[in-house]
A = this chain, B = another copy of it.
Amino acid sequence: MRDLESLSATQAVKALARREIKATHLLLSCLDRIGQRESTVKAWVSLGKENALARAKELDKGAITGLLHGLPIGVKDLYDTYDLPTAYGSPIYAKNYPRTDAVSIALMRQAGGIILGKTVTTEFATFKSAATTNPHNSKHTPGGSSSGSAAAVADFMIPLATGSQTAGSIIRPAAFCGVVGFKPSLGKISIAGVKSLAISLDTMGCFGRTVEDVALGVAAMSGDHQLAKVKDLHNKPRIGICKTANWSSAQKETANALALARHAAESICKGVIGDIKLPKACDGLSQAQSRIMLSEMSRSLSFEREHFTKKLSPQLIKQLAEGSALTYEQYSKDLLLAQRAIVSVAQLFSDEVDILIAPSAVGEAPTIKDGTGDPIFCRGWTMLGLPCINLNITSGPNGLPVGVQLIAGPGKDHFLLSVARAFALALPDPVLRDQA
């Protein structure tokens, strides 16, 4: 048996439910790993060792509580927790102790999950690099804004961690760190108790090392417990490759990842894999997403701008000014464009294709001084509210992970997970197949 901290979340909860391992031991293994690696990776804002150990002991003694019984979990520090400070990546909220858990965190605890600590988020989940490094190379970014969660899962510090995506904050860090990241349908997980960045876009999700793990995480976070049972595919899905309108931004390794993904998908797909162009209604969607996000941010963070300007980063102040300068008329137009794109893409999924495979990021993780990476390949999918999952496919020129995302039609979260697992099992490298 491997070290406990390297068990996948699904393996761990199975072993815990059968009383083959103890929650206490699993937790201590994770803490050991954190102890060894945290000074390099810097994934954590705070750890609640004592509470977590007390809870683990309780769970080891008591009945099996639920889906996550005894599983240690990392929580992005954008989510409120009643027993750990919650700073949203900003000095404004130093020593902020919320009165409650975010709804999704309360649901994870109810399912038996043990919140071990809070993971690093960039400032209010925006773009300025935070302290976390990429576990594969500490000179490189883990991506943002869910930096700590993606890095901690990749580095075997924790089997499961929560994230959130407004532009590309789950899929991009998952790709950069080489883990599975799942952004379910918009609205699948309650946003209550998570600091709001852009209300039309904020989507909650999680990171794990396998498809089954992220299914488990989102099952608990949403209350849709059936989601944890990833079903086998009975019919071959129609799969298309979607390079998107931003293909000119893609680096060589992203093209390579897409080619490898196409090859793997051929064995599970119905008919031939074609290249799918998004409907004309999607023209300008990434730009509209970007403006909607800036406009909503300028309203969401107006309290902080009014009362704590000096504690905001210059980068964020600049973005808030950009958002404020956009007219409400422009914002309304952009929302209308998004609405039309949503309708036309729903039609595309109904008529032509079941799953799209698209780039997760421009390329491998840039160096930290170059920021957290460009979310351009995620913006449109986030705006469309479609379920997306990142899988690691290959590596780039610096040996860092490169992924692709699989995208399903509106509300097809269950189906996406089934296809993602089948797809992972069709990958050539046995290490990559472990993502299933």
A contacts, CB < 8 Å to B: 82, 93, 96, 99-101, 103, 106-107, 109-110, 187, 190-193, 195-196, 199-200, 223-226, 296, 299-300, 302-304, 306-307, 328-329, 332
Contacts and interface: CB of A to CB of B under 8 A. Distances in A.
Nearest to A105: B303
Contacts of A200: 187
Contacts of A106: 302-303, 306
Chain A, interface SS category? helix
Given A199-B191, A224-B328, A100 B304 contact: yes
Contacts of A296: 190
Contacts of A192: 195-196, 199, 300
A302 B101 CA distance: 9
A299 B223 contact: yes
A388 B99 CA distance: 34
Contacts of A223: 299, 328
A303 B82 contact: yes
Nearest to A95: B99
A401 B242 CA distance: 58
Contacts of A303: 82, 100-101, 103, 106
A302 B196 contact: no
10 contacts: A100-B304, A103-B300, A103-B303, A106-B302, A107-B299, A110-B302, A187-B199, A190-B196, A223-B299, A224-B332
Contacts of A306: 106, 109-110
A326 to B, nearest CB: 11
A90 B93 CA distance: 25
A332 to B, nearest CB: 8
Given A223-B328, A328-B225, A328-B226, A302 B199 contact: no
A301 to B, nearest CB: 9
A41 to B, nearest CB: 29
B96 A302 contact: no
Contacts of A302: 103, 106-107, 110
Given A226-B328, A328-B223, A328-B226, A300 B199 contact: no
Centre residue among A106, A109, A191, A195 by max chain B CB count within 10 A? A106
A428 B190 CA distance: 46
A52 to B, nearest CB: 17
A383 to B, nearest CB: 14
A307 to B, nearest CB: 8
A312 B122 CA distance: 37
Contacts of A329: 226
A190 B103 contact: no
A306 B299 CA distance: 33
A190 B328 contact: no
Contact of A299 (B99, B190, B299, B332): B190
A196 B307 CA distance: 25
A6 to B, nearest CB: 31
Nearest to A199: B190
A198 to B, nearest CB: 9
A311 to B, nearest CB: 13
A230 to B, nearest CB: 16
A338 to B, nearest CB: 12
Given A192-B199, A193-B196, 10 more contacts: A100-B303, A100-B304, A103-B199, A106-B303, A106-B306, A110-B302, A190-B196, A190-B296, A190-B299, A192-B196
A401 B99 CA distance: 39
Contacts of A191: 199
Nearest to A92: B99
A99 B101 contact: no
A93 B193 CA distance: 15
